[in-house]
Structure 1
């Protein structure tokens, strides 16, 4: 069963249960309320009659004189004498009076419902004053009349319930349709993702949490497409980077085997082969490290490291290369900031960025450590080189993406993976010095 039908069925069932319980409670209470209301009305009428009789007729001998007055009231009533336990007069026939007198105890003032034949009657009793007279006016109303009012009320209530149910069910259908339609469209988009038809993915119009889920699916599809494209690019670049040194090694090896080269060229060929083997080894080691950083949490072991000590180690390692290239290394006085990182891995990330800057710098490399807040620290490495091309900036941290004078194309990807393992983030932009500016944000 579709979700929309399930929701409508569940809502309708819940509505039926609520209305049934409500109807039962109302049906049970309405009769008592109507009886109580009828008794109150009878009491009001009886008190009016008793007041009139008390003012006009004050002795038992005067009873016969107001018989005509009672007959004109269009009420079912008895004038009862408690002392003699008999009905003095009534607006009903003697046969009915005798039937009531035989079936009910007139002296029992606690009985609210009297019976006559198959019918029941609601009673209300009002004493004459003074009470020493022992005279009492008893008014009756057939319970059948009250039950008819009850049935009429219930019928109208059922009509209201039915109309209300139709309106509510229609509204429920409209709301569930509005809720389910985006889910149906979202299902269609997920099918496209399953078939890798990323170019056909379309944003879904929705509200609330469904809108957030739809946006997440849309972002996921874009990320999957980017990931698949990056993987394809990775394999293409990896095959190219590995193929180049292998072809060089193969060419020289076959030439030496076939004695094509003289002794001097053979020696040069062996040197080239060793150089290419070392280059190949470096590429493979960096690929293995990058794969571990992105898939194995156990290779990263964070500890508390002083930022000042970390920068000093970086300076000590890059200074010989910088002096060789006649570059000036500048750094600020680092505050006593403690970082929670894997010291060896973070050192490698910073060295990758620093050596990258040295390769592209013209005369200087700046390393700056700042603490913009109590929770974060920024490490900035910038140079005065030509900078990174605008079209290369979005992809600079991807594998085998190399700028001018790049080596393996894995150094920046490794730096990104290490920083992200540390819970931080890395960004690239243009430096005021003219070259590239790498900013690492870490939590302290």
Structure 2
């Protein structure tokens, strides 16, 4: 079942349940209200009749005039003498008088709903003044009359409910259509993403949470497109990087096999083959390491690390390359800075950034550690504008780069540690890499 149909069905079912419960409650309350209103009206009529009888027939309560007056009122009533427990006058058939008497209704002042056979009556009793006379006027209204009013009112209420239900269902249909239409359009855009037609994705009109979902879908599509492009570039670059040493190894191997080299060239070829194998091994190891960083979180073991201790290890390992390149490395470290990270991997990230800066520096590299960031900068030629957006992608490297994977590995490690890495132009003239530490 489609979402719109499900929403309409759920709303209609809820509405019917509410109206049914409301109808049952109202139906029962209507009769009680009618009984109370009728009893109040009977009391008002009875008090008026008693007042008239007290004023005009005070000395002649038992004579024909009183009977004639009561007969003219077109009411169902009894004139009852409480002191003698006797009905003096009645406008109702004798069978009701006998039925009510047999059930002691006349003597019972508390019972207000009388029944005789299949008929029920609402009653109201009014005493004559003074009370010592013992006379009482009892007025009755058949309950069937009130039930007829109840049923007529309820029929009209059902008609109102039906009209309201139809209007509410139509309004629900319009509202759910307005709600579901953007989702339907969004589904079509997702189909385009599924078919990788990123250039055909179109914005849709939506509000609220659906607008947020739409934005998330477009962000996901952009990220997926970027990821697929990066993967394609990765495979192209990887094939190129792997192909070059393999071709070199193949060339020398075939030359040695076919004995086209003399003894000196054979030695040179073997050395070159060993060098290319080492380079190939390094590329493959870094590719495997980067793949593990991206896919296997179980290899990451975070702990609290003092950054100054990591930097001491970086300086110790960088000393040979510093001396080889004739570069001066300055460092300024806040010894109270800690970071939650995998010590071995975070050290690898710092080594990659530091070695990269030393290789590209003319004469100077600065490393600064504060409570919010780690900065590694050099005075080299810097990063070109066209390479800047791709500097952390795989196999992107400068003139003196090695595998093109070092910065990609550094970014993966830093992001897994909850940090962020950025690159800027340095005041020294070269590149400045900034590691923003997590709080």
**Superposition TM-score, scaled by structure 2 size:** 0.91
Q: Which residue is 1:374 aligned to?
A: none
Q: Which residue is 2:215 aligned to?
A: 215
Find the aligned partners of 2:433 and 2:69 in 1 and give their Cα distance: 111
Residue ranges of structure 1 left out of the alignment (5+ in a row) = 372-376
Residue 368 of structure 1 and its aligned partner are, at CA, apart by 0.9
Find the aligned partners of 2:333 and 2:416 in 1 and give their Cα distance: 27
Q: Which residue is 2:396 aligned to?
A: 401
- 2:95 counterpart (95, 99, 102): 99
Matched, 1:192 2:192: yes
Q: Which residue is 1:10 aligned to?
A: 10
Q: Which residue is 1:327 aligned to?
A: 327
Q: Deviations over 1:102-151 (max 9, x none)?
A: 22123333332345675433211101122221101111223232222212
Contact 1:319 1:329 in 2 (8 A): no
Mapping of 1:147-296 within 5 angstroms? 147-296=147-296
Residue ranges of structure 2 left out of the alignment (5+ in a row) = none
Q: Which residue is 2:376 aligned to?
A: 381
Cα 1:289–1:67, aligned 2, differ >3 Å: closer, same or farther? same
Instruction: Report the count of equivalent residues.
Output: 435
Cα 1:298–1:77, aligned 2, differ >3 Å: closer, same or farther? closer
Mapping of 1:107-146 within 5 angstroms? 107-115=107-115, 119-146=119-146
Find the aligned partners of 2:399 and 2:146 in 1 and give their Cα distance: 99
Residue 155 of structure 1 and its aligned partner are, at CA, apart by 1.9
Q: Deviations over 1:352-405 (max 9, x none)?
A: 11111122222321111111xxxxx31111122222223322221111112332
Find the aligned partners of 1:210 and 1:258 in 2 and give their Cα distance: 69
Contact 1:305 1:343 in 2 (8 A): yes
Q: Which residue is 1:414 aligned to?
A: 409
Find the aligned partners of 2:330 and 2:375 in 1 and give their Cα distance: 12
Find the aligned partners of 2:116 and 2:351 in 1 and give their Cα distance: 109
Q: Which residue is 2:318 aligned to?
A: 318
Find the aligned partners of 1:264 and 1:430 in 2 and give their Cα distance: 47
Contact 2:373 2:435 in 1 (8 A): yes
Residue 58 of structure 1 and its aligned partner are, at CA, apart by 3.5
Q: Deviations over 1:27-76 (max 9, x none)?
A: 12211210111001111221222233334443465654444544454433
Contact 2:333 2:370 in 1 (8 A): no
Q: Which residue is 1:78 aligned to?
A: 78
Contact 1:202 1:218 in 2 (8 A): no
Find the aligned partners of 1:243 and 1:393 in 2 and give their Cα distance: 26
Q: Deviations over 1:140-199 (max 9, x none)?
A: 223232222212211221122112111211111112112222222232223223222232
Cα 1:250–1:119, aligned 2, differ >3 Å: closer, same or farther? same
Find the aligned partners of 1:333 and 1:190 in 2 and give their Cα distance: 49
Contact 2:79 2:136 in 1 (8 A): yes
Mapping of 1:52-91 within 5 angstroms? 52-59=52-59, 63-90=63-90
Contact 1:182 1:206 in 2 (8 A): yes
Matched, 1:425 2:401: no
The CA RMSD over aligned residues, in Å, is 2.3
Find the aligned partners of 2:147 and 2:42 in 1 and give their Cα distance: 17
Q: Deviations over 1:235-259 (max 9, x none)?
A: 1111110111111122222223333
Find the aligned partners of 1:298 and 1:121 in 2 and give their Cα distance: 84
Residue 16 of structure 1 and its aligned partner are, at CA, apart by 1.4
